[in-house]
Amino acid sequence: MKKIILFLAVVLFTTIANAQEYKEYYDNGNLKVIGNYDVNKKQTGVWKYYYENGQLGIVGHYKKGKQTGVWKYYYENGQLGIVGHYKKGKETGELKEYYENGQIKEVGSYKDGYDTGEWKNYFKNGQLYSVEMYENGKKHGECRYYTKSGQLEFIFNYKDGRKHGKIREFHSNGQLLSVEYFEDDYGVNMNSWKYYDENGIEQN
């Protein structure tokens, strides 16, 4: 995904041309950017950005110079990397991100440019890695984390982006390993720690 981000950073800051239709080329003659400007010299309609090898890198719409609608980002090998949605230049609605091998990497939603609701992340093998809850771009609520084999490993609770309340860790057999209590991420109540063996028996 770093390749996509770097590519995006280069192409989105293309200088504005005087003509309504804009095209830019690489030194090797391949098309780099194609799109249109409106009468106010703001990007409009479909814009396409290409890698130097000719592969499509990004395609999306602009309206009055701001990203709108569905945007798609591709790896240099042609594999779809991200499908996102925009409204007046801000991310909105569902986002899906993929690994370069085509496996789903992340699924979540935005509201006014901020992460919101449930977000799921996956390992390259397709196994679920985490289920996190967001509110106004910050982790908020219960978040679960799993091992590559699918075993639940941690359950964290967050409040406005900080660890808050009960934190649980689990043995590889699924039994509870420990319970801790955070107070707004500033510290842990040491007296509240509890530990359990693989059979679920509390240890003193």
Confidence of residue 183 (pLDDT cuts 50, 70, 90): confident
Q: Give 60's strand partners.
A: 47
Q: Where are the beta strands (DSSP E) in the chain?
A: 21-25, 31-37, 43-50, 56-63, 66-74, 80-87, 90-91, 93-98, 104-111, 114-122, 128-135, 138-139, 141-146, 152-159, 162-163, 165-170, 176-182, 194-196, 202-203
* % pLDDT > 90, the chain: 76
pLDDT at 24: 97
Least confident of 43-57, 77-91, 178-192: 178-192
Cβ(190)–Cβ(171) below 8 Å: no
The dihedral built from the CA positions of residue 57, 61, 67 and 69, taken in this order, carries a sign that is negative
Least confident of 16-20, 63-67, 107-111, 135-139: 16-20
* % pLDDT > 70, the chain: 87
Q: Whole-angstrom Cα distance, residue 22 to residue 95?
A: 28
Most confident of 4-18, 103-117, 188-202: 103-117
pLDDT at 200: 83
Q: pLDDT digits over 2-40, tens only?
A: 455 555 555 554 444 444 999 999 999 999 999 999 999
Stronger pLDDT, 186 or 83, i.e. the higher one: 83
